[in-house]
């Protein structure tokens, strides 16, 4: 298919949008790769927004692995974590979230891969996930590529616990309570005590390898490539992260082989290193796309 550049605000493009609707209606196996742009209308700014939490707390500098080697930065990071969790808990899924949920409800969603850590999709009935992700299926509808604010992980024994914000205060990592319980039992049994592990939020920081999820995500990715997807929707992301960019490239290749459709949805055009992956480049917000879907024939296309 010849690549088409459309704007959701173009009132003269009725014929093009009708063709888009017809093409998507025929698709039955959707892969959706989402980024921060699907949550901005819920009040959660992306990491580059000067008015957002991430930039207010120092941007990349205080959201990298380096915070665990600097007391002042770690204290700022813990404050960011607390505020981000409160913000996410007070926000609601957007029209685009609901559109993807409808795909899942109708069994047309192979997978939602989200780079977001806010967990808004989990408020909807069909966009459930699993934490931690297993290395064998069946897998949930939603894969959190960069983790979630709402869970923490022990650095020593790998325990995964719901995030307790009251623990993330000051410039030292909180102690894992499961380790503490295990150590109390060891001491009570007359065994030598050991130092418990520390807790970190289960999110991917800059300059960090997500070794706690790489194998599982790789297995899901391989499975989904074999699922013969016929539609790829990339929404609200610039694909700056290499892992997400590689995932999209591989999915786009398979979708093309299946005579499917790859669509970019964003306020900005794709960069040249991924432009060729897409049949349709739709300029606008993700919610505008969802509303356009409703206007042209309902949430099911």
* 146, 150, 159, 221: the active-site residue: 146
Q: Could you give the CA distance from residue 110 to residue 103 in angstroms, rounded to a whole number?
A: 9
146 is catalytic: yes
Which tokens sit at 229? 């997807």
Specify the residue for token string 């007391």: 71
Q: Which residues contact 8 (CB under 8 A, 6 or more apart)?
A: 282, 283, 284, 285, 288, 289, 292
Q: Give the number of other Cβ atoms within 10 Å of residue 207's Cβ.
A: 10
- In 3D space, the residue among 87, 72, 74 whose CA is nearest the CA of residue 117 turns out to be 87
Which tokens belong to 74?
């770690």
E strand residue ranges, the chain: 4-7, 30-34, 109-114, 142-144, 147-154, 160-162, 199-203, 231-235, 261-266, 280-283
Report the catalytic residues: 146
């Amino acid at each position: 298919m010849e690549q088409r550049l459309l704007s959701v605000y173009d009132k003269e493009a009725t014929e093009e949008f009708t063709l888009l609707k017809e093409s998507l209606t025929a698709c039955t196996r959707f892969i959706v790769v989402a980024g921060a742009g699907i949550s901005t209308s819920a009040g959660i700014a992306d990491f580059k927004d000067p008015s957002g939490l991430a930039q207010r707390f120092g941007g990349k500098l205080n959201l990298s692995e380096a915070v665990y080697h600097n007391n002042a930065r770690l204290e700022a990071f813990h404050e960011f974590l607390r505020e981000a969790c409160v913000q996410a808990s007070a926000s609601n899924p957007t029209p685009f979230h609901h559109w993807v949920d409808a795909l899942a409800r109708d069994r047309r969603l192979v997978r939602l891969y989200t780079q977001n850590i806010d967990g808004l999709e989990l408020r909807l009935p069909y966009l459930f996930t699993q934490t931690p992700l297993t290395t064998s299926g069946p897998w949930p509808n939603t894969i959190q590529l960069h983790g979630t604010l709402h869970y923490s992980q022990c650095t020593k024994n790998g325990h995964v616990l719901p995030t307790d914000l009251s623990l993330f205060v000051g410039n030292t990592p909180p102690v894992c309570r499961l380790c503490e319980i295990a150590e109390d039992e060891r001491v009570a049994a007359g065994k030598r005590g050991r130092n418990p592990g520390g807790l970190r939020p289960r999110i991917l920081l800059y300059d960090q390898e997500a070794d706690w999820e790489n194998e599982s995500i790789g297995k899901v990715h391989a499975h989904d490539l074999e699922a013969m997807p016929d539609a790829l929707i990339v929404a609200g992301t610039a694909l700056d992260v290499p892992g997400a960019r590689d995932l999209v490239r591989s999915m786009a290749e398979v979708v093309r082989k299946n005579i499917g459709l790859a669509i970019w949805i964003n306020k900005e055009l794709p960069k040249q290193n991924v432009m060729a992956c897409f049949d349709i480049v739709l300029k606008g917000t993700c919610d505008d796309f969802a509303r356009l879907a409703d206007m042209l024939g309902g949430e099911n296309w």
